[in-house]
Amino acid sequence: MKLTCTQENFKKAIYSTERVVGKQITLPILENILLETDNGMLKISATNLEIGVFLKIGAKIEEEGKITVPARLLSNFVNNIPNVGTVSLSVVDQTLHIESGSSKAQIKGLQAQDFPIIPEMEGEFLFSLPAQEMKEVIPRLAVCVSLDSTRPELTGLNFVLDKLEVRLAATDSFRLAEAVVTLIKDNSQAYDLFIEKTNSVIVPLNTISELFRVINPETQDIKIGIEESQIFFQIDNVRIVSRLINGKYPPYQQIIPQEFTTKVFLPKDEVLRAVKIAGIFTHSKAGEVKFTVNSQAKEIYVQSKAEEVGENKTILSAQIEGPDQEALFNPRYMVDGLQAISTSHLVLLMNSGASPAVLRMVQGEKKEEMLNYTYIIMPIKN
Amino acid sequence: MNNAELWQAALGEIELSISKANFSTWFKNTTILSNENGKVVIGVPNGFAKEWLENKYNTYIFRALRNFQDDIKEISCIIYSNEQAPLNEIKKMDSAAPVLEQQLVQEIQQGGNFAQRPIQPMMHTGQTNAPYENNINARYTFENFIIGENNELARAACFAVSQNLGKIYNPLFIYGGVGLGKTHLLQSIGNEVLANDPSRRIKYITSERFANELIDSIRNQTVNDFKSAYQAIDLLIIDDVQFLAGKEKTQNEFFHIFNALYQINKQIVISSDRPPKAIATLEDRLRSRFEGGMIADIGKPDIETRIAILKTKSAENNFYLDEEAIRFIAENVKNNIRELEGALNRIIAACEFNKKLPTLKFVQQALAEIISSGKKKGVQAQNVIEAISQYFNISTKELIEKGRKKEIAYARHIAMYLMRSELSASYPSIGTQFGGRDHTTALHAYEKINREMETDEKVREDVAVLRERIYAV
């Protein structure tokens, strides 16, 4: 193998692939990334057998070939060399020679034949999602994904595919976040056929964070295809393949109440501050913060108390519709939900101190409720 | 030969032709789904395995299968998980899934009380819903138990027991030092059995809790209920049985429960920090029963095992440590796995706190306090002598004076040995500690014990237990 490519492209390519590497101890080659020439391009692949990532960059190829080298070593080297424009790569005796300006390196590699084959898609992409919207939505949902491996189906993001939109949901069974994103059909007929059969898939959190990482500010859309328990993403020139989590996602929609008796409109920053302060006055994990809605005074009280620490209370004026309410929440979960709100005001919807409460964003003068993001949190019962 | 047997046989053959790492990576969780008209369909857990088996290993598989069934013409793989239905069978979310929905609602509601009560993993509360607690923690399984030379036998015995309750090794007695994985193995048996058959009644209990429950039942006059509850169990796991030593009434009750279960071929698994004959004040009839089954020990992990453990644990924590750092930790933290995990946690915390990468140097600094060149601080000659006099029930005065009674001389020798090996004290100073004896006396003692440890099990036990006691101060 002998080729030259731009340093910028090479660096970006290594950055996009390197992170999935290296959490396997059984097979040493999984700590490597694969470099190979492919139809006049340089193809770079990495995998941990759960996720596979590959991309192609333009290169001037003098001699075809392939090799695998340790990912961390390569990325540490590439990240630290000065930017001079181009990088030349060549392979001699299982060793990768890299040359860029005044820096040279030789990295010992392993046989490319032993590198896992990253599954390719057989059919076509089914649909696309707007990349920038996803970049905004993913962090809001990711905080709610469960890390408990005894319930594997909750350790990923649920995609419910509908005719015009995708519902994304995450829950760790203490709280739940749902976002609705409008989809673009790439192949309308195939998509409609597909959702007849399968309309819900669960994508592992690791895959989602990998996806999040490769979305650039310029990225337009994310193409998505699903085949045989696997999901394929195409983001610009990067292709991600991942297994799907087997299992059935709980039908969470049934627990979102349709009606709420009390609606409280609040400025986001002030509530967030109040809950954070309340969090200080609780035990580190076992804490609870009390929300009291006083509709007559048009105020809500956010308070907490811990025997050995002390107590606090914040009074916020709010626009309230409906009767008085009182409920206890875990401050950590409340903060997660509030932080995901990107508008200046939000609405807190409640029925009673024992049924789920909902946070949603509101926009405009009329404080219109936005349905594209819903955060559900269960109160602590007394 | 059915499909499962065929596949087992073929796997046995394939295992011989490829490396162990490759075998366990690519053939884990594979199975034959159908075998008709010479076409074999293999179920594999993910797309990577599918590609690999179809493209790289198909000749191996083909050859291996042909050995057992010569009309096989074609092999293909599909992605399949044996726990749940394949993806394409997952239908639309039917709204008539009241069970799951209830569970979620319930869980979310309990979630509010997260802090107050731990959540029970669903897999165990799901079906049996029995009114007793089995105390099995789903975290401990055979899959995440790391096998090394030190624990191979114990692990194999436990696994065999989990597959064949009450039929092969009964009772199974596992012993080994603190933090070497006894509890992990014991719990794994429970989890494995539950995974195979959730209706089995299992009880894991430490001997201390067993004693407490018995005392409660005596106070509440419900001893009979207590006994019959235990006698209805399929698998009884008693952890740390050495704490029964000296509690006669408890031993007595335990003896009856043991007998009742043993006679109807129910499995009993017991763990302790030393072999049955080394547990002082254990009644003879119990001791002989413990010795009647299978006894397996867990030793200290060798360096390779320690490295493997560190790698697994750091991967679990998504924490990257380079080879050098791992080797350094493994070389310096030798005695037990819990300490090993502690050291790793300490490094992770230190890295997060200081926002630094875990280079070898940083790791050395972070662990300086724990290892300080291999010796624990604060252990002195006096601690050794006290530990010895307690263990052998000999006063420190006797130990130091001239007496040459056999038991005393033995204890004295061990004390000298430990001072030399653990505190690196000089022979003359050891002599001085023991009433101004000559340095050659100390030298002789050290060499004698060293020699005897190679041949005599009892000496080895005594030294091991004492070494732990010294550091337990």
CATH (domain of B412): 1.10.1750.10
Interface touch A379/B112, C-beta < 8 Å: yes
Q: How confident is the model at residue A44 (pLDDT cuts 50, 70, 90)?
A: very high
Q: Which residue of A has its CA nearest to B87?
A: A229
Minimal Cβ distance to B114: which of A201, A229, A330: A330
- Residue A100 sits in the same domain as residue A69: yes
Distance CA A106, CA A90 (A): 10
Distance from the Cα of B4 to chain A's closest Cα (Å) equals 22
Residue ending a domain, choose from A199, A231, A253: A253
A299 and A353 together in one domain: yes
Whether residues B168 and B265 share a domain: the answer is yes
* Structural domain includes residue B107: no
Q: How many Å lie between the alpha carbon of B301 and the closest alpha carbon of chain A?
A: 18
The answer to whether position B430 is within a domain reads yes
Tell the burial category of B472 from Cβ atoms under 10 Å away from its Cβ (0-12, 13-18, 19+): exposed
d(CA B196, nearest CA chain A) in Å: 16
A18 and A85 co-located in one domain: yes
* Residue B333: CATH number of its domain: 1.10.8.60
Distance between B401 CA and the closest CA of chain A, angstroms: 55
User: Does the residue B126 lie in any domain?
Assistant: no
Q: How many domains does chain A have?
A: 3
B373: left (phi over 0), alpha (psi -120 to 50) or beta: left
Q: Where residue B93 falls among pLDDT bands split at 50, 70, 90?
A: very low
Check: CB of residue B309 under 8 Å from CB of residue B146.
yes
Give me the residue label for tokens 């037990």. B336
In the Cβ-directed half-sphere of A239, how many Cα atoms lie within 13 Å? 16
DSSP bridge partners of A327: A291
What is residue B438's three-state secondary structure? coil
**What residues of chain B lie within 8 A of the CB of A49, using their CB?**
25, 46, 48-49
Q: Is A217 exposed, middle or buried (0-12, 13-18, 19+ CB in 10 A)?
A: exposed
Asked if the structure places residue A119 within a domain, the reply is no
| Burial class of A129 by CB neighbour count within 10 A (0 to 12, 13 to 18, 19+) | buried
Question: Which of A25, A72, A230 is nearest residue B47 as measured by Cβ atoms?
Answer: A230
In a domain? residue A145: yes
Contact B76, B8 (CB under 8 A): no
Question: DSSP letter string over B274-307?
Answer: S-GGGSTT--HHHHHHHHHSEEEEE----HHHHH
Torsional class of A183: left (φ above 0), alpha (ψ -120 to 50), beta (otherwise): beta
Per-residue confidence (pLDDT) for residue B384, from 0 to 100:
84
| B242 and B330 together in one domain | no
Q: Looking at the domain assignment, is residue A356 inside a domain?
A: yes
Examine residue B219 and state whether it is found in any structural domain, yes or no.
Answer: yes
How far is the alpha carbon of A364 from chain B, nearest alpha carbon, in Å? 32
pLDDT digits (tens, 9 = 90+) for B311-331: 888 888 778 888 888 888 888
Whether B335 has a pLDDT exceeding 80, the answer reads no
Alpha-carbon distance B427 to B77, whole Å? 69
Residue type present at position B55: N
Average pLDDT for chain B: 79
Q: How many helices and strands in chain A, by DSSP H and E?
A: 7, 28
Same domain as B328, residue B282: no
Distance from CA of A306 to the nearest CA of B (A): 14
Residue A158, pLDDT score? 94
Q: Which CATH number belongs to the domain containing residue A241 in this structure?
A: 3.10.150.10
Find all residues with CB under 8 Å of A261, minimum gap 6, and list them: A322, A323, A325, A350, A351, A352
Q: Are residues B18 and B37 in the same domain?
A: yes
Q: What's the mean pLDDT in A130-143?
A: 92
Pick the residue of A47, A49, A110 with the most B CBs within 10 A to test the interface with B by mutation.
A49
Whether B278 and B327 map to the same domain: the answer is no
Distances (CA, A) of A193 to A125, A189, B458: 13, 6, 73
Q: How confident is the model at residue B105 (pLDDT cuts 50, 70, 90)?
A: low
Alpha-carbon distance B265 to A80, whole Å?
Answer: 66
pLDDT at A156: 92
Beta-carbon contacts of B10 under 8 Å, excluding residues fewer than 6 positions away, are B61, B64, B65, B67, B68
Identify the weakest region by mean pLDDT among A299-303, B54-58, B294-298, B372-376: B372-376
- Asked if residue A178 is part of any domain, the answer here is yes
Distance CA A25, CA B150 (A): 20
Same domain (yes/no): B280, B224? yes
Query: Residue B114 is nearest to which of A72, A174, A228, comparing CB atoms?
Result: A174
Which of A76, A254, A336 should we substitute to test contact with B (largest number of B Cβ atoms within 10 Å)?
Answer: A254
Whether B91 is in a domain gets the answer no
Largest CA distance in chain B: 88
| Residue B128 within any structural domain of the chain | no
Among residues B374, B406, B427, the one where a domain terminates is B374
Specify whether the CB–CB gap between B381 and B354 falls below 8 A: no
Q: Check whether residue A239 and residue A261 sit in a common domain.
A: no
Instruction: Report the CATH number that the domain containing residue B75 is assigned in CATH.
Output: 3.30.300.180
| CB-CB contact of B183 with B215 (8 Å) | no
Q: Is residue B146 part of a domain?
A: no
Helices of type H across B317-403:
323-332, 337-354, 360-371, 381-392, 396-400
In this structure, the answer to whether residues A324 and A284 fall within a common structural domain is: yes
Contact B356, B390 (CB under 8 A): no
Q: Which residue has the higher pLDDT, B81 or A363?
A: A363
Last residue of a domain, one of A253, A281, A309: A253
Domains held by chain B: number: 4
Does B363 have pLDDT greater than 90?
no
In a shared domain, residues B294 and B159: yes
What value, to the nearest 5°, has the Cα angle with vertex A107 and ends A102 and A108? 160
A-to-B residue pairs, Cβ atoms closer than 8 angstroms? 150
CA distances from A157 to A250, B198, B302, B303, B342 (A): 12, 29, 41, 40, 32
**Final residue in a domain of this structure, among B271, B298, B325:** B298
Structure tokens at B433: 């500690």
Residue A100 located in a structural domain: yes
B104: left (phi over 0), alpha (psi -120 to 50) or beta: alpha
pLDDT at B106: 54
Which residues does chain A have within 8 Å of residue B312's beta carbon, measured at their own beta carbons? Answer: 25
In this predicted structure, the answer to whether residue B234 has a pLDDT above a threshold of 80 is: yes
Question: In angstroms, rounded to a whole number, what is the distance separating the alpha carbons of residues A167 and A120?
Answer: 26
Distance of CA A72 to the CA centre of its chain: 23
Candidate from A246, A250, A286 with C-beta closest to B100 = A250
Q: What number is the ipTM of this complex? A: 0.72
Kind of pairing between the strands at A230-235 and A238-243:
antiparallel
Kindly list the residues from chain B whose CB atom is less than 8 angstroms away from the CB atom of residue A27.
21-22, 25
Query: Are B241 and B277 in a shared domain?
Result: yes
Q: What is the pTM of this model?
A: 0.55
Q: Is 80 exceeded by the pLDDT of residue B6?
A: yes
> Which structure tokens are listed for B207?
């001997």
Q: How far is CA A209 from the centre of its chain?
A: 4
Whether B249 and B330 share a structural domain = no
Q: Is A161 domain-assigned?
A: yes
Residues B317 and B281 in one domain: no
The per-residue pLDDT for range A280-321, each reduced to its tens digit, is: 888 766 678 999 999 899 999 999 888 777 889 999 999 999
The DSSP output letter for A171 is: E
Angle of CA points A155, A160, A164, to nearest 5°:
150
Smallest Cβ distance to B51: which of A117, A176, A255?
Answer: A117
Are both B277 and B331 inside the same structural domain?
no
**Token digits of residue B253:** 């009750």
Percent of chain A whose pLDDT exceeds 70: 98
Q: The domain containing residue B330 runs over which residues?
A: 303-374
Note whether B181 and B293 are same-domain residues: yes
> Is residue A138 assigned to a domain?
yes
Residue A56 and residue A174 in one domain = no
User: Which of B268, B298, B328 lies at the terminal end of a domain, its last residue?
Assistant: B298
Residue A208 lies in a domain: yes
A13 and A78 housed in the same domain: yes
In a domain, B125, yes or no: no
Which range marks the domain in which residue A104 is found?
2-114
| CB–CB contact B48 A252 (8 Å) | no
Q: Which of B50, B92, B138 sits opposite A119 (nearest CB)?
A: B50
Domain match, A133 and A244 both: yes
Q: What is the pLDDT of residues A232-245, one digit of tens each?
A: 999 988 999 998 98
